[in-house]
Structure 1
Amino acid sequence: MPKVRIAPEIFFLDRTSGRPLQSQIREIVVASILSAQALPGALMPSSRKLAEHLGVARMTVSLAYQELVDQGYLETQSRSGYLVAHTDAVPRLSADGVGKPSENSEAWRNVVSESLQDRRRIVKPKNWRSLPYPFVFGEMDATIFNHTAWRGCARQAMGTRDFDAMASNDATDDPLLVNYVLSRMLPRRGIAARPEQILITVGAQNAIWLAVELLTRAPLKAVCENPGYPDTLQALRWCGAQVSMVDVDDQGLPPEKIPEETQAVFVTPSHHAPTGATMSRMRRTQLLEQAQARDMVIIEDDYEFEMSFLEPPSPALKATDTNQRVLYAGSFSKALFPGLRLGYLVGPAHVIAEAKELRSMILRNPPGHLQRTAAYFLAQGHYDLLIRDMRRQFARRRKVMVDALGKTNLEIAGAAQFGGSSLWVKAPAGIDTENLATKLIDDGVVIEPGAPFFGGGNVPTEYFRLGYSSIPIEQIETGVRLIYDRILDESASG
């Protein structure tokens, strides 16, 4: 009986992904086998025909095929080429009795309490990396990052000596990473802690979410900054907290405006999100005194303190917390790369123990391999060199951006006094920066509209954030000019 030959036309490569072609070929062949497009015994396209179809070298296909033979997905047969293997490594379900997918949203409307998709959030276009003027915040510049050092640390973390610790399921944090946080990160912020007072998290956002979950098991009256980080506000509201928004000024959150009966205050005192304002020392003292007098707790999000190229950052609020009223959230993601998703929560030992138990109900612990790789990268000095290079680059980019904005009538409404990686900008009255951002995409420009940072109904429309962590320095002046030209067009048409 003649064998079925699989047509090469069912295979496609993603040329925009930047991923190795050989890896992509292996993946699309495996996908075709798992989805039953390629059944056991079927003949694969010859390496020549598949190479011609995909527009790659024949050797690339041959090497991919051979790797799949070694893995047991394909097998070779004399004069026939490559066949889909008969193997129990690929579980298959009978098509009999398998229902067709259907949409039944109504069945869930009564049990899903509200739509999170409608919340205000910061959204970047998926193709922002391909655009010439990406003024996005919190993204890395791959030209600065030491990929070779990271790969070396990853290989070291995968070694036999470290594997047992990584492969365990005991919900423990990597002791090397915890030790680095204790000995290097926290002292830079003026904080002293013990190992039992630290929890490794999946980024600072996860740390704040854990704090919110712990605090809202009973009715909670909380305060957030306005403007402020939108996910903190949404998390509190989602968990049932009664939230008051307190307007910030150029010295951060004013403690005297915190309502009576407040139980928890969420702040970014060293580097306010998004304006960059630093809370004054007098206000910090006042806030800590209020916390003690009113029996409040404070959740401090201390991000981007490493980007201090103009002057040293102020000490963390936690550094002067003598009454253990502050939970401190930090992150490696901003300085390394956002996809790393590693952060930490620091607080009283009994609170951290509760947070650890809560974390174990969601996930045991952040991936052990990432923790150990990051620990090696930090301990071997690569992190400190990276921070040095970022500070130098960001100082130059910030100057170019400030000079470019100075040639317009756009106002720098907020900037971190120690440096940072973004500016908070105000357009002329009447400009809707959400509409502006949409139109700027046509010019290859990405900005972050300011509306998601504000709470309440009467949201200002003229603010936006310009990040300079990932945009090439030579693109900044032209990008700012394109933004200003669009604003002039909007003003003229309005």
Structure 2
Amino acid sequence: MSIPIDTFFLDPKFEGTLQQKIQRMISEGVLSARFPPGAKLPSSRKLAAHLGVSRITVTLAYSELVSDDYLIAKGRSGYYVSPTAPQRTRFDLPKTAGRDSVDWNRAIGQRYSNQIMPEKPVDWRTYPYPFIYGQADEKIFDHSNWRQCAMQALGKREFSIVTADSYERDDPELVKYIALNTLPRRGIHARPEQILITMGAQNALWLSAQVLLNQRRTAAMENPGYPGLRVALNLARCNVVSVPVDKDGMQLDALPGETDVVFTAPSHHCPTNVTMPLERRHALLEMAARHDFLIVEDDYEFEMSFLNPPEPALKSLDEEGRVIYVGSFSKSLFPGLRLGYMVGSETFIHEARALRAAILRHPPGHLQRTTANFLSLGHYDALVARMGQVYRQRREVMQTAIARCGLQTAGVDVSGGSSFWMKTPAPIDAQDLAAALKQRGVLIEPGHVFFEYPEDGSRYYRIAYSSIESAKIDAGITIIAETIDGFRHT
């Protein structure tokens, strides 16, 4: 039995090479039983002509399918579906499929979906002017070297390391690089026992909150501040105190005396981008010693200090072990990587490691080793330097456009970053502005999600230059100004 040539067509929605599309098309046909064992496939020449691809592409796809036992080659006869090809177990759907008689309002014991978080459009790349924060720019990223590092991690030499269940342990090469290279740049010395790899900074903040806080303890965070931290603190069921932010960061005189843990982002405050000066950092550490509280330092975007050298990390100034340091590769590599790290006393890290092990064991070994390879071979430093150059140029273009259009900035930038913190003229609501701009192909981020009380942030919004080309920035800023002007005249 031969499979008709008209059966074969490439899925335009599948993102991959032509060879991968052909392999997927045939493997799906075999797995779904549309291509039964023993069925003959078209010759590579005929299939190539039918699909409009080169013959070598089809031949390579056939060869890969043979190696995976989807196909077998019979001399000059051609390619056939293997009699031992993988098959999916098929079950008849029950007659009650799709019915749900559970009263979930009663069944759910705790709710987590009522937290206010920023909305990230999945299709943001399709918009002409995506001033969206925290997404990777594929034109800057080092695809080739990252691919080589991933292939190296999956090679025979490292295969047993990246595929093993390491229980609560982390990749020693990644921990070693962080200890000997990353942390010393921030003036921090740490032993491997004091370092824990996390699933990004969000996971590190959650672990810190769970280990350090309970219903009888008080945590202080910046207002406005990172909404993911507020969620983590709410889940810890502690008393949360919101502390105002000025041009130098967290206002220390607003810290309550009963504080147990202070969470702060001194390098690049989220979302205003202000940097805490050295004097206030020392003052915060002195207060921590005097009032006996701990500090969780989110060293957010310190790599993006391309305007001025970064201030010393709080952890580097800490002489009593009161600071827990949180770092991440999400902004400097790509957010989907979900790899970060935390540094603290060995006792704290021991507890955080045990909690992490109970939830997810450890971050994926392949990602840890790929990242370790990328770091150790110098690709990471080259990428950060390239990002700094590109961001500096984009920032200058955006700053010029903002000034030309008369838009109001609300944040104070002293070292760099990847965004501007903005404010609308009264009484324009930033959510209404965002909705109107979306209709014109412009994406901005309303700022209400960063405040303890969302109504306090109704006129704030953030525009980032990390995911938009320099050539498009001026036109996008012009549309923002035109839309704001339109609100004024309605």
Provide the TM-score with structure 1 as the length reference: 0.90
**Inter-partner Cα distance in structure 2 for 1:435 and 1:6:** 55
Stretch moving more, 102-111 or 173-182: 102-111
Instruction: Determine which of 259, 262, 267 is the counterpart of 2:256.
Output: 259
C-alpha distance 55-433 of structure 1, shift in aligned 2 (>3 A): farther
* Amino acid in structure 2 at the alignment position of 1:119: Q
**Inter-partner Cα distance in structure 2 for 1:166 and 1:371:** 8
Q: 1:39-118 maps to which residues of 2 (within 5 A)?
A: 39-40=36-37, 56=53, 60-61=57-58, 63-75=60-72, 84-87=81-84, 89-95=86-92, 98=94, 101-104=97-100, 106-113=102-109, 115-118=111-114
3-state DSSP of counterpart to 2:426: coil
Q: Deviations over 1:160-192 (max 9, x none)?
A: 332232232223222222122112211221212
1:382 aligns with 2:413: no
Instruction: Determine which of 479, 482, 485 is the counterpart of 1:485.
Output: 482
Identity of matched residues, %: 46
**Inter-partner Cα distance in structure 2 for 1:270 and 1:309:** 12
**Inter-partner Cα distance in structure 1 for 2:324 and 2:95:** 49
Equivalent residue for 2:328?
Answer: 331
- Asked if 2 retains the 8 angstrom alpha-carbon contact of 1:276 and 1:414, the reply is yes
Q: For the aligned residues, what is the CA RMSD?
A: 2.8
Equivalent residue for 1:284?
Answer: 281
- Asked if 2 retains the 8 angstrom alpha-carbon contact of 1:13 and 1:21, the reply is no
Instruction: Determine which of 5, 11, 14 is the counterpart of 1:13.
Output: 11
- Asked if 2 retains the 8 angstrom alpha-carbon contact of 1:8 and 1:45, the reply is no
1:436 aligns with 2:433: yes
C-alpha distance 123-308 of structure 1, shift in aligned 2 (>3 A): same
- Asked if 1 retains the 8 angstrom alpha-carbon contact of 2:449 and 2:457, the reply is no
**Inter-partner Cα distance in structure 2 for 1:216 and 1:36:** 55
Q: 1:322-361 maps to which residues of 2 (within 5 A)?
A: 322-361=319-358
* Amino acid in structure 1 at the alignment position of 2:27: V
* Amino acid in structure 2 at the alignment position of 1:14: P
1:303 aligns with 2:306: no
Once the two structures are TM-superposed, the CA of residue 23 in structure 1 deviates from its matched residue by 1.0
- Asked if 1 retains the 8 angstrom alpha-carbon contact of 2:277 and 2:311, the reply is no
3-state DSSP of counterpart to 1:300: strand
- Asked if 2 retains the 8 angstrom alpha-carbon contact of 1:202 and 1:366, the reply is yes
Equivalent residue for 1:318?
Answer: 315
Equivalent residue for 2:367?
Answer: 370
* Amino acid in structure 2 at the alignment position of 1:135: F
- Asked if 2 retains the 8 angstrom alpha-carbon contact of 1:203 and 1:332, the reply is yes
Equivalent residue for 1:453?
Answer: 450
Once the two structures are TM-superposed, the CA of residue 124 in structure 1 deviates from its matched residue by 2.2
- Asked if 2 retains the 8 angstrom alpha-carbon contact of 1:6 and 1:38, the reply is no
Unaligned runs of at least 5 residues, structure 2: none
3-state DSSP of counterpart to 2:157: helix
Equivalent residue for 1:159?
Answer: 155
- Asked if 1 retains the 8 angstrom alpha-carbon contact of 2:215 and 2:239, the reply is no
- Asked if 2 retains the 8 angstrom alpha-carbon contact of 1:8 and 1:50, the reply is no
- Asked if 2 retains the 8 angstrom alpha-carbon contact of 1:9 and 1:53, the reply is no
Equivalent residue for 1:191?
Answer: 188
C-alpha distance 90-226 of structure 1, shift in aligned 2 (>3 A): same
**Inter-partner Cα distance in structure 1 for 2:377 and 2:451:** 41
1:247 aligns with 2:240: no
Equivalent residue for 2:134?
Answer: 138
C-alpha distance 161-42 of structure 1, shift in aligned 2 (>3 A): closer
C-alpha distance 442-73 of structure 1, shift in aligned 2 (>3 A): same
Equivalent residue for 1:215?
Answer: 212
Equivalent residue for 1:176?
Answer: 173
Once the two structures are TM-superposed, the CA of residue 421 in structure 1 deviates from its matched residue by 1.0
* Amino acid in structure 1 at the alignment position of 2:12: D
Once the two structures are TM-superposed, the CA of residue 477 in structure 1 deviates from its matched residue by 0.8
Equivalent residue for 1:402?
Answer: 399
**Inter-partner Cα distance in structure 1 for 2:240 and 2:111:** 19
**Inter-partner Cα distance in structure 1 for 2:2 and 2:91:** 20
**Inter-partner Cα distance in structure 2 for 1:22 and 1:272:** 46
Once the two structures are TM-superposed, the CA of residue 49 in structure 1 deviates from its matched residue by 8.0
**Inter-partner Cα distance in structure 1 for 2:115 and 2:32:** 36
3-state DSSP of counterpart to 1:314: coil
- Asked if 1 retains the 8 angstrom alpha-carbon contact of 2:448 and 2:454, the reply is no
**Inter-partner Cα distance in structure 2 for 1:110 and 1:4:** 56
Equivalent residue for 1:465?
Answer: 462
**Inter-partner Cα distance in structure 1 for 2:259 and 2:108:** 29
Unaligned runs of at least 5 residues, structure 1: none
- Asked if 1 retains the 8 angstrom alpha-carbon contact of 2:70 and 2:82, the reply is yes
**Inter-partner Cα distance in structure 2 for 1:45 and 1:459:** 66
C-alpha distance 33-280 of structure 1, shift in aligned 2 (>3 A): same
**Inter-partner Cα distance in structure 2 for 1:339 and 1:445:** 23
**Inter-partner Cα distance in structure 2 for 1:317 and 1:60:** 55
**Inter-partner Cα distance in structure 2 for 1:6 and 1:439:** 51
* Amino acid in structure 1 at the alignment position of 2:11: L
**Inter-partner Cα distance in structure 2 for 1:437 and 1:38:** 50
* Amino acid in structure 1 at the alignment position of 2:350: A
* Amino acid in structure 2 at the alignment position of 1:101: A
C-alpha distance 34-455 of structure 1, shift in aligned 2 (>3 A): farther
**Inter-partner Cα distance in structure 2 for 1:86 and 1:94:** 21
3-state DSSP of counterpart to 2:461: strand
C-alpha distance 22-194 of structure 1, shift in aligned 2 (>3 A): same
Stretch moving more, 375-384 or 26-35: 26-35
Q: Deviations over 1:213-247 (max 9, x none)?
A: 22345543222211111111012212322222222
* Amino acid in structure 1 at the alignment position of 2:358: M
**Inter-partner Cα distance in structure 2 for 1:244 and 1:124:** 27
**Inter-partner Cα distance in structure 2 for 1:110 and 1:39:** 48
3-state DSSP of counterpart to 2:458: coil
C-alpha distance 9-200 of structure 1, shift in aligned 2 (>3 A): same
Count of matched residue positions in the alignment of Structure 1 and Structure 2:
489
**Inter-partner Cα distance in structure 2 for 1:10 and 1:454:** 54
* Amino acid in structure 1 at the alignment position of 2:331: K
C-alpha distance 280-133 of structure 1, shift in aligned 2 (>3 A): same
**Inter-partner Cα distance in structure 2 for 1:470 and 1:157:** 29
* Amino acid in structure 2 at the alignment position of 1:492: H
3-state DSSP of counterpart to 1:228: coil
